[in-house]
Each structure stands twice: as structure tokens, then as C-alpha cells.
């Protein structure tokens, strides 16, 4: 297949490498001409995953990339810019979204922003650095069209990257968004040194509130026990490379959210998603106390105060 990957960050770079290794003709489309030139000259992304060799992956600006003739366009950009990016893409090729979040303006799922062409979503426990190094990983592709999902599965699946199909597009996208918010809280637990018991309890209850949201939103609760839910939640909350976990840890250690994001140097999706997810929960009348607490901390409430509030909640059944 001729595939264009839009977004020259860590995940876009890793996925372009993955597709190249599968034998596809891949173009990595970046906004910055200097980044494009460096990839062409050196075979390495000068900003992200700099040690990963990209020979055989073409690089182009978004304006120059062969989007009109591509068989597939993979979009790996921050959620805040996803809608604007996909609206400007020429051609009619299906879009595969790697972005995990919600549209911060409308609160909509990102696939709903794709107009006049098919859209699918890939999600799961996929730390970019590990995928780029060829370490074993698995993911799920969700799409309203089963034939397209299977086509993409066959195009991406390999012995290093196992791909499953799921027709619960709503559930997979909500998982991808919500797990980043829970990871901020898990990082906060790390930063405060609360221990593994507290962190495991937090993540488990986070999964429970994700499931409540899924049921009311029309998703299937079992999706939240799969790769896009529990799988991605585990790796995001425990991996040292997890941006959201690291951001929560830095906030617990005294940084502001903006300072923590600048220190990390890459998009921290949970910061954008948390208030959007909270507002969605309010509209659907779903109780999400951890998400509410994360938003309160982002608004300036002390993290230690949040911990006390969560522990003082009335006892209930699991």
C-alpha cells in the first residue's frame, strides 16, 4: 500500500517505521521543512526517537506529501489539532487515527470529525519507543466497517505487532481518551510516594469509572477490559515513558501542569482531555470522581487534598 503518516512525533515516527518494515511505501508528513530535510539527509528524525533508523521512509511536508494518491492516511497529531488537520487533507483514502483524546472544542470523538471518507481507529498498549525497536506489542483496530477493519488488520499485523479487530468504535475511542486522565492521577500517586497498593486501587477504580461512561455512551463494557481499555491503561500508568503518568508525577512534585508539559516536551493528551471528559460525564450524568479530581488539581487544588477527598468518600459496593 501507499501510505502517508501525518505527524512527525514519536508515535507517527514509530508507526512509519512499522509500516516500512511491513513492506509498504511510506511517507512521513511533517509540518516543519527542516525536520523533513533532516530525515531525508540522515535517515533519522532529529526530534523524536532520534536513534531509530528510517531509511526507506520518505519524508515530506504535509503540503508535499502524496495524500491525493495514497491508499491510506494515518493521522498521528495531538487531539487539539486533529479536526483541523483532517479537514484539510486532500483525497478520499481511508483515515486511520492514532490520536487518543476527544475534540476539546466540541467534546466529540475524533473519528466523528472525519467527513466524506471512511475512518478507523488504532489503539492499545503501544509505547512508541518499544514499537520502534520491534519489541512485541498488540493493538486493536475499531471501525464501523468490518471489511475495512480487516483490510487494515492484514496490512499492519506482523509477528512483532499483533492486531485485533473490534467493531465498538465508541468504546475504543472513549478508552483511548479516558486512560490518559487516569494516568495523570496514577503519576500523582507516584509523585507523592503513596505506594503500589494505592496506585493499583486508583487504576482499578479508574477502570470502573471508564466502564460506567462506556455503558451510558453506548459502548460495550467488555471493550474496557481489552487492549484499548485495561491494556492501554496499565502501560500508560506504569511505564516510565508514559507522558501522562510522568506529567502527574511532576505536578505532585511541585510543578504546574504547564511547567510539567514543557519539561516533557511532547503533547500530554490528558491535560487537554480531562476537562472535556469531565464535561461529557456531566452531560451523560455519569459519576467520574477521579476525573473530577484530576480537573480540580489542574485548576489548582492541592493533590494531597484530592487524595483525602477520594479516601473520605462514602463506602459502597464494588
pLDDT tens-digit readout, 124-167: 999 999 999 999 999 999 999 999 999 999 999 999 999 999 99
Percent of the chain with pLDDT over 90: 90
The model's confidence at residue 310, banded by pLDDT at 50, 70 and 90, is confident
- What are the residue boundaries of the structural domains of the chain, listed by start? 2-167, 170-311
Strands 137-143 and 119-123: antiparallel
The domain over range 170-311 is classified in CATH as 1.20.120.1080:
no
The model's confidence at residue 312, banded by pLDDT at 50, 70 and 90, is confident
| Residue of 179, 199, 243, 278 with catalytic role | 179
CA dihedral angle for residue 48, residue 58, residue 96, residue 31, rounded to 10 degrees: 60
Cα 149 to Cα 170: distance, rounded to the nearest angstrom: 15
The model's confidence at residue 58, banded by pLDDT at 50, 70 and 90, is very high
Q: What is the CATH number of domain 2-167?
A: 3.40.50.720
What is the residue-averaged pLDDT of the chain? 94
The model's confidence at residue 227, banded by pLDDT at 50, 70 and 90, is very high
Q: Which pLDDT tens digit goes with each residue over 82-119?
A: 999 999 999 999 999 999 999 999 999 999 999 999 99
Cα 186 to Cα 199: distance, rounded to the nearest angstrom: 6
Q: Which pLDDT tens digit goes with each residue over 241-287?
A: 999 999 999 999 999 999 999 999 989 999 999 999 999 999 999 99
Predicted confidence (pLDDT) at residue 1 exceeds the cutoff of 80: yes
Does the active-site annotation cover 199? no
Predicted confidence (pLDDT) at residue 311 exceeds the cutoff of 90: no
Chain CA centroid to CA 245, Å: 13
Query: Which residues have CB under 8 Å from 294's CB, separation 6+?
Result: 181, 184, 185, 270, 274
Predicted confidence (pLDDT) at residue 76 exceeds the cutoff of 90: yes
Predicted confidence (pLDDT) at residue 302 exceeds the cutoff of 90: no
Amino acid at each position: 500500500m501507499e501510505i502517508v503518516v501525518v505527524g512527525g512525533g514519536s508515535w507517527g515516527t514509530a508507526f512509519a517505521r512499522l509500516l516500512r518494515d511491513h513492506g509498504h511505501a511510506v511517507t512521513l508528513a511533517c509540518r516543519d521543512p527542516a525536520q523533513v530535510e533532516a530525515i531525508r539527509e540522515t535517515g533519522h528524525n532529529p526530534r523524536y526517537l532520534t536513534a531509530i533508523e528510517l531509511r526507506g521512509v520518505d519524508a515530506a511536508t504535509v503540503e508535499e506529501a502524496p495524500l491525493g494518491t495514497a491508499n491510506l492516511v494515518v493521522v498521528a497529531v495531538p487531539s487539539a489539532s486533529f479536526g483541523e488537520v483532517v479537514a484539510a487533507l486532500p483525497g478520499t483514502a481511508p483515515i486511520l487515527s492514532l490520536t487518543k483524546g476527544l475534540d476539546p472544542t466540541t467534546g466529540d470523538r475524533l473519528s466523528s470529525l472525519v467527513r466524506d471518507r471512511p475512518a478507523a481507529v488504532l489503539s492499545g498498549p503501544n509505547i512508541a519507543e518499544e514499537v520502534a525497536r520491534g519489541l512485541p506489542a498488540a493493538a486493536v483496530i475499531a471501525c464501523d466497517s468490518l471489511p475495512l477493519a480487516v483490510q487494515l488488520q492484514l496490512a499492519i499485523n506482523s509477528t512483532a505487532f499483533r492486531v485485533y479487530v473490534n467493531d465498538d468504535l465508541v468504546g475504543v475511542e472513549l478508552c483511548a481518551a479516558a486512560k490518559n486522565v487516569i494516568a495523570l492521577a496514577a503519576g500523582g500517586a507516584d509523585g507523592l510516594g503513596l505506594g503500589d497498593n494505592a496506585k493499583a486501587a486508583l487504576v482499578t477504580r479508574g477502570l470502573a469509572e471508564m466502564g460506567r461512561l462506556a455503558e451510558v455512551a453506548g459502548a460495550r463494557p467488555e471493550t474496557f477490559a481489552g487492549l484499548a481499555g485495561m491494556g492501554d491503561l496499565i502501560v500508560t500508568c506504569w511505564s516510565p515513558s508514559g507522558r501522562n503518568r510522568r506529567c502527574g508525577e511532576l505536578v505532585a512534585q511541585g510543578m504546574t501542569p504547564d511547567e510539567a508539559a514543557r519539561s516533557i516536551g511532547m503533547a500530554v493528551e490528558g491535560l487537554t482531555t480531562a476537562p472535556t471528559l469531565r464535561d461529557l460525564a456531566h452531560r451523560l450524568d455519569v459519576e467520574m470522581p477521579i476525573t473530577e479530581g484530576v480537573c480540580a488539581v489542574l485548576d489548582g487544588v492541592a493533590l494531597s487534598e484530592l487524595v483525602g477527598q477520594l479516601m473520605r468518600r462514602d463506602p459502597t459496593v464494588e
